Amino acid sequence: MTTRELLISAWDWEPSVLIGCAALLIVYFSLVRSRTRAKSTTYAAGVIVLLLALVSPIDTLSDDYLFSMHMVQHLLLILVVSPLLILGIPRNTAEQIVGHGRIAQIEQYLSDPVIAWTGMALALALWHVPIFYNYALRNEDVHIAQHLMFLVTAVIFWWPVFHPVPELRLKTLPMVIYLFLATMFNSVLGIIITFAPLGWYPAYIHPNDEFGALSLIRKHWNISAAADLQLGGLLMWVPAGLIYFTIIVIAIIRWQSQGDSDAIAYNAKPYLLGDHNAT
């Protein structure tokens, strides 16, 4: 098998993924009435990346051959898909949906930085513990639950950073601390995985070579099982950290250029989204 043949044949058009992505688009375009092209494009881009992460050869390689590709898949869900979905939500839609009643109370609780940060950290840590990770690889329903947990906790994590109502986003200093701690957590987890023993994720040592791609990966791509594990850890350690760091730098530059006098104050949201007259 060649790389080209693998990229053409290793697509998995899983019905649940197709239905889920279609549902995300249908709900969005039925609820969001006054949307701009930029917002719609951003949201649609998030759904497209989600689809590609779960049906393209990324998914086949991550399930059957490469831990590092599984890391790429998870990082796409957490660092690309989730922010794009949030950034695609117009302000008025957010105010209408989560601005009143019980939904507003739930939103206010989940968007608390401590809750949002902790939820994402726990999901990452839990699903990279070998016993849980390996079980998810063997059980498709658990694997789906794993992806859903990553996606949901990531949306909650990014909500205080990219909130559709700009006034309710974290101010600059709290945001810097929030993302810096996430960078440190990712780095520690990435370092642990990078230097973990080879047997942590045994499915990738002797893969079930369903597509006949193992020879291609080992001989032509020159990726051994040990190198694969190290690469996966490095992906969490370095590129993910750079994404957080880039957002930190952009936030600081914007703060300096705008002269944000409230950069140190934490927006505790003492009011519901729909009640902007409250103090």
**Alpha carbon distance 186, 183 (integer Å):** 5
With CA atoms as reference, report the closest residue to 77 among 65, 90, 89, 62.
Answer: 62
pLDDT at 157: 97
- As a whole number of angstroms, the distance between CA 67 and CA 61 comes to 8
Q: How many Cβ atoms sit within 10 Å of the Cβ of residue 274?
A: 14
Q: Looking at residue 262, what is its pLDDT? A: 52
Q: Is there a domain that residue 117 lies in? A: yes
- Tens of pLDDT along the chain (279 residues)? 788 988 998 898 989 999 999 999 999 998 887 778 899 999 999 999 999 999 999 999 999 899 999 999 999 999 999 999 999 999 988 888 876 778 888 888 888 999 999 999 999 999 999 999 999 999 999 999 999 999 999 999 999 999 999 888 999 999 999 999 999 999 999 999 999 998 899 999 988 888 888 999 999 999 999 999 999 999 999 998 899 999 999 989 888 887 655 554 444 454 344 443 333
- The number of residues making up the chain comes to 279
Q: Determine, yes or no, domain membership for 198.
A: yes
In a domain, 75, yes or no: yes
Q: What letter represents residue 103's amino acid?
A: I
Residue 252 structural domain: 3-258
Which pLDDT does position 259 carry in this prediction? Answer: 61
> In angstroms, rounded to a whole number, what is the distance separating the alpha carbons of residues 30 and 32?
6
Q: Are 60 and 216 in contact (CB under 8 A)?
A: no
Asked if the structure places residue 266 within a domain, the reply is no
Residue 276 included in any domain: no
The answer to whether residue 222 is domain-embedded is yes
Alpha-carbon Rg of the chain, whole angstroms? 20
Which residue, among 194, 165, 162, has the nearest Cα to 178 in the 3D structure?
Answer: 162
Do the domain assignments include residue 59?
yes
- Structural domains in the chain (count): 1
- Distance between CA atoms of 158 and 179, rounded to whole angstroms? 10
* pTM, entire model: 0.88
CB atoms within 10 A of CB 239: 15
What pLDDT, on a 0 to 100 scale, did the predictor assign at position 2?
87
Cα separation, 21 vs 33, in Å, equals 19
3-state helix, strand, coil in the chain (%, to 5): 75, 0, 25
* In the block, residue with structure tokens 């869900």: 77
Residue 273 Cα distances to 164, 217, 238, angstroms: 10, 51, 36
**Contact 80/240 with Cβ under 8 angstroms?**
no
Give pLDDT, residue 62. 93
Output the CA–CA distances (angstroms, integers) from residue 200 to 193, 227, 262, in the order listed. Answer: 9, 13, 46
